[in-house]
Amino acid sequence: MGDNPIERLVTLGFSEYEAKTYLALLGGSPATGYQISKSSGVPRSMIYEVLGKLVARGAAMTLHSEGGNKYAPVAASEFLDQLQREHEVLVTTLKDDLKSLGSASTHEHVWNIGGNENVMAKAREMIDQSNERVHLALMPETFPALKGALELAIGRGVRVVVHSTGDLELEGARVVVSPVREIASERVEGLWLVLAVDGCQAMIGELLTQNQARASWTRSPLFVFVAEHHLRTDLYLPRILSALGDKALDFIDEADRELFATPFESRIDC
């Protein structure tokens, strides 16, 4: 946006001639079309058309007199207040009009987010938007950055379930501690963050290095279902197997036992 009033008025929807004419009216009025043309630099062949547009949009007034019509501006504060009200109404109605159009077109997309701060900011935004339930899996080191948003959600009556590898202090939430085997620890720490909100949106974050992260966010119903299903059920599996001990083998087909013996194999380059 420019620094001078003409450029700013153009940004608000004025033509350049309209902006120059309005400023000329503010500088000296009432004035005839001829006088305004001279002071504004707008050609005489255009000045009356421009003045008519200013009158129509509520920025100027016509004063009828025996010597011919003269023009005066509507006070800048009054006109800009009206313009602001009109824009607020326009933006509000446009949000409603575009909401239904935009929601369907973005549901299936998966958006990539880079950087620790950006990932955590998106996670907080998701939690702030929650109305019913939040399911979250994270490392204890990640918890402080989200604790405030989670506490506010709990205060709104949102059901919060948090899975972590260590105990967390979060009053009003269901905190599930699931220690992982040494063979799995590297992959779990790398996964870093899984978040599902209201069955409507989900994000999976990956810690690349100590100070760098990336995440994928989506409203895709299938992606969200899989993420929330994982948080509701899969994270209890290590606790169930640990509690059953050797008896777990009675419930697992022999052909599938290898899958449970090494659940976090090293990543294949792909």
Residue-wise pLDDT tens digits, 151-176: 999 999 999 999 888 888 999 999 88
Domain with CATH 3.30.870.10 in the chain: 111-261
The answer to whether domain 111-261 has CATH 3.40.50.300 is: no
Note the pLDDT of residue 265: 45
- pLDDT level of residue 127 (50, 70, 90 thresholds): very high
pLDDT surpassing 70 at residue 209:
no
pTM, full prediction: 0.54
- Indicate the DSSP class of residue 26: H
Domain with CATH 1.10.10.10 in the chain: 5-74
Strand duo 201-209 + 70-73: pairing = unpaired
List, edge to edge, every strand of the sheet that includes 201-209: 110-114, 212-218, 201-209, 193-197, 133-138, 159-164, 174-177
CATH no. of 5-74: 1.10.10.10
Residues 6+ apart with CB under 8 A from 166: 140, 177, 179
Cα distance between residue 104 and residue 82, in whole Å: 34
Give the tokens for residue 240.
């169930």
- pLDDT level of residue 208 (50, 70, 90 thresholds): low
